[in-house]
Amino acid sequence: MQTVRARLYDYPKYYDAIFGADCKAEFDFLRAVFRRYAKRPVRRVFEPACGTGRLLVKLAAAGYAVSGNDLNPAAVAYCNRRLVRHGFPATASVGDMAGFRLARPVDAAFNTVSSFRHLESEAKARSHLDCVATSLAPGGLYVLGIHLTPLGRRDCDRETWSVRRGRLAVVSRLRSLGMDRRRRRERIRVTFDVSTPSRQLRLVDEMTLRTYTAEQFCRLLEATSALEIVATFDFGYDIGRPIRVDDRTEDVVYVLRKRPRPSRRPTAVPSAGAPDNRPV
Ligand SMILES: C[S@@+](CC[C@H](N)C(=O)[O-])C[C@H]1O[C@@H](n2cnc3c(N)ncnc32)[C@H](O)[C@@H]1O
């Protein structure tokens, strides 16, 4: 088998074979969350770091107006081709989730598979949350799925998935190569073993992800006062089973809601003759 060092996101067809194979649970969950927690009807949705658009296309087919961005042009092209093939406009664009602006506010945004951890600094993570908050209409939601770093030992530091799509078979292996908790970095290796009738190929990628304990994530969120946590779930995506996040939690889907605009109360004007003795 030929082995190639590669950036896996440059191979959207293989990425999608693995991660797009079964997204029904995520799709059903997102819709249930939109219905239950948004303070407005959800019609327009945005996915930062949308990748191949595996969820966007399903949401478009369900009647939502969808759009997304991603840093990787190959993923964006794949996503747009797929949207167009299904009869929808090509609404994915190349862009950085740490610095974007939408032309019109959306009712919900989502980011479910820890893509947020690609943002390598606190400043970028904060900027991302600010961009999302600015893009949401008041009462709108941001559904953010992330693997947290538990304070003790982790249950598992490797995962394997395999899938067959027609004559294409892909086996994906993810392994943590080590974590630097002080610098908040985790190095991971992901391999795709790809088999077609004419080709056997191993793609190997290594990437660095930022780490978050539950407390670090909450602190970050507090700095973005526009979003509040309204519910938390795990990657079982069961709307009937919210979870309580503690310092041992490993995967969590935060349902964040944009706070309503502060109401503008008229300032009290002291009446003539009654001196205003309030301290300044
Ligand atoms: C694990 S994939 C998730 C893709 C998609 N959200 C999904 O659920 O299948 C992570 C994606 O994040 C994208 N990405 C990484 N850093 C980014 C950034 N700063 N801005 C936008 N996209 C980014 C990668 O190109 C990749 O497509």
Report, as an integer, the average pLDDT of 60-75: 98
Max intra-chain CA distance, the chain: 93
| Atom number in ligand 1 closest to CA 19 | 9
- pTM of whole model > 0.85? yes
The Cα-based distances of 108 to 42, 55, 112, 133 in angstroms read: 6, 13, 13, 10
Q: How far is the CA of 147 from the centre of ligand 1 (A)?
A: 15
Q: What is the pLDDT of residues 240-262, one digit of tens each?
A: 999 999 999 999 999 999 998 76
pLDDT over threshold 90, residue 270: no
Closest-CA residue, ligand 1 atom 25, reads 72
Choose the residue to mutate in 29, 118, 251 for probing ligand 1, maximizing ligand atoms within 8 Å of C-beta.
118
> Kindly report the CA angle at 253 between 248 and 257, in degrees rounded to 5?
125
Q: What is the pLDDT of residues 23-46, one digit of tens each?
A: 999 999 999 999 999 999 999 999
Q: What is the pLDDT of residues 121-130, one digit of tens each?
A: 999 999 999 9
Q: Tell me the fold of 158-208.
A: S-adenosyl-L-methionine-dependent methyltransferases (2.20.130)
Q: How confident is the model at residue 85 (pLDDT cuts 50, 70, 90)?
A: very high
The count of C-alpha atoms lying within 13 angstroms of the C-alpha of 30, restricted to the half-sphere facing its C-beta, is 28
Could you tell me the sign of the dihedral formed by the alpha carbons of 80, 83, 87, 93, in that order? negative
Each domain of the chain, given as residue ranges in start order, spans 9-150+211-258, 158-208
234 phi and psi angles, rounded to 5 deg = -110, -175
What tokens appear for 221 in the block? 């969120």
CATH code of 9-150+211-258, in short, is 3.40.50.150
DSSP assigned state of 141: E
Closest-CA residue, ligand 1 atom 13, reads 49
Strands of 106-111's sheet in order across: 92-94, 65-70, 44-48, 106-111, 136-147, 251-258, 227-233
- Strands 199-210 and 2-5 turn out to be parallel
Choose the residue to mutate in 70, 121, 209 for probing ligand 1, maximizing ligand atoms within 8 Å of C-beta.
70
pLDDT over threshold 70, residue 279: no
